[in-house]
Amino acid sequence: MSEAALMQSVDEVPIDKMGLAHYFANYETYLGPIRQQPLDFLELGIARGDSLRHWESWLPNARITGLDITPCSAAFGDRVRCYVGEQQDKAVLDRIAAERAPGGFDVIIDDAAHVGQLARICFWHLFQHHLKPGGYYFIEDWGTGYWPQYPDGKHYRPPEPDLAAHEKLLDRLHKSAPVQAIRPLRKATGWMRWNLVRRRFHGHDRGMVGFVKELIDECGAEDMTHPSFGAGTPRKSRFDWMRVSLGHVVIRKAAG
């Protein structure tokens, strides 16, 4: 199914970074120090072009590129060019990169479909092939994975209450005065707290939420592949760092 068809079911859901102040706080923090530089900048999902107008003004020396599934009728200066295509179309992404940033983009923003698998395909292709070392990749509106209106979204289901009660009971028992006074009982309740509580933690893995959790695994690559307790060929993360906030992910690509 195409990105356009997927989004027909969610076109009434309001997603607009222009009303989310902390998005711009992140952009100010990470891009503010470099905004006067001749950046190669790509935004996926430009709609009417409102955000591109902002970037055109705020990044005075950047070459700005936009991609959307429908043509953008807004008028821009010579530094801005818009393309039509789907974010998961690798051939389109390669053509855009070849024409606009053959040396790689400095900044990429994904504000496109907000569908996990589409964002995932797009991210790994652009990150590996068309984002410069030290470049920034921003992912917007990852919380759609919690929204059942989305084709890959679903309501979050909290942990079963009896498990939470079980853990609370163990905690109270271990801290009680009789148990604290009798060493064998203290050791027994300590053993239960360690062996009977969960090792894995309840979580939601649908859509964009699941994709973000995959990115967290990449952050942990050095531990995940450690020769003493990991799996696979030992390697460092391809991320320098990753910051997750409400609806917003910021990743800086490792220098090399």
Active-site choice (114, 125, 130, 248): 114
Cα dist from 78 to 55, 64, 70, 215, whole Å: 13, 9, 20, 35
Q: Catalytic: 114?
A: yes
Largest CA distance in the chain: 79
**170 sits in which H/E element:** helix 161-175
The amino acid occupying position 46 is I
Phi, psi of 243 (to 5 degrees): -120, 125
Q: Name the burial class of residue 8, with classes exposed (0-12), middle (13-18) and buried (19+) by CB atoms within 10 angstroms of its CB.
A: exposed
Contact 250, 123 (CB under 8 A): no
DSSP 188-212: HHHHHHHHHS-SS-----SHHHHHH
CA separation for the pair 133, 123 (Å, rounded): 15
Closest-CA residue to 216 (of 224, 206, 226): 224
Token pair of 77, please? 């200066």
Catalytic residues: 114
